[in-house]
Amino acid sequence: MFQKRQLRLIYLLILIIVLVLIYQSFTIPKTDEDGEQASDDALLKPSGAPVNVIVFYETLCPDSKNFVLRQLVPAFERAQALMKIWFVPYGKATTNTNPDGSLAFDCQHGPIECEGNIIHACVVEAVQDARKQLAMVACMIRDNLIPRDAFIGCAKQHGVEIESIQKCYDSPHGAELLKLHGEATHALRPAVSFIPTVTLDGAQNDQKVILKDLFGSVCQVVAGRGPKPDVCK
């Protein structure tokens, strides 16, 4: 039991480090020669490196569902090599600490969404394969009205191990993960005003364009580093 708890703490520490590295660029906005916001990643990455696509979303948000299913999945299918996707399920929620030290959340679409956000956070942590992770998120977000049923059905469909993820969202660890996603969301600069918010290599750029044409926006970022990839031509 001690070893399992110690291993979980190590995983949590790794997640914290990864989140800090990803989101630190949000606190110091930069501009490129055209006056658009850019990040260190966008300026320093080699032309062949994938674009970090970070999706700040909510599990019961219709706009989040629309973006995942109609933009993110098709873009990934067309150009998987150009994208590294990071999911941040939290949105416009708030985090509170109870007198006993436990965590509580208020979510834009109510308690069911909070439950769904926690389950998504556990899935994102547990499923590291990029294609399978996206498949799970897309599958669950299609119908999250009963989040646990959605997770179990999608896990069976996509061959994802169920027990460890159930333990995550039934334990304080799931709430701790959601709190981390909340901190990452609140670190965004400019601050979140619409969900989903999607950043490309740490930059928000024109959100309306990104949400309507993710593939084109990713291609634009990659082309800004060097020759346009064939898939984008």
Give 95's strand partners.
Answer: 105
Name all domains of the chain by residue range, CATH numbers in brackets. Answer: 51-232 (3.40.30.10)
Cα-based torsion angle of the residue sequence 16, 182, 189, 33 in order, rounded to the nearest 10 degrees: 50
Q: Are 138 and 69 in contact (CB under 8 A)?
A: yes
- pLDDT tens, position by position, 119-163: 999 999 999 999 999 999 999 999 999 999 999 999 999 999 999
Ranges of H-type helices in the chain = 2-23, 40-44, 62-67, 73-78, 111-126, 130-142, 147-158, 163-170, 172-186, 207-212, 214-223
**8 exposure class (CB count in 10 Å sphere: 0-12, 13-18, 19+):** middle
pTM recorded for the entire structure: 0.82
- pLDDT tens, position by position, 179-214: 999 999 999 999 999 999 999 999 999 999 999 999
Tokens 């994802």, residue located = 160
pLDDT value for 214? 98
Q: Which residue has the higher pLDDT, 34 or 152?
A: 152
Task: Give yes or no for residue 86 having a pLDDT over 50.
Answer: yes
Structure tokens at 72: 């993110």
Q: Which residue has the higher pLDDT, 33 or 227?
A: 227
Average pLDDT over residues 18-25: 47
Task: Give yes or no for residue 117 having a pLDDT over 60.
Answer: yes
Q: Which residue has the higher pLDDT, 46 or 228?
A: 228
Task: Give yes or no for residue 23 having a pLDDT over 90.
Answer: no
What are phi and psi for residue 143, nearest 5 degrees?
A: -155, 90
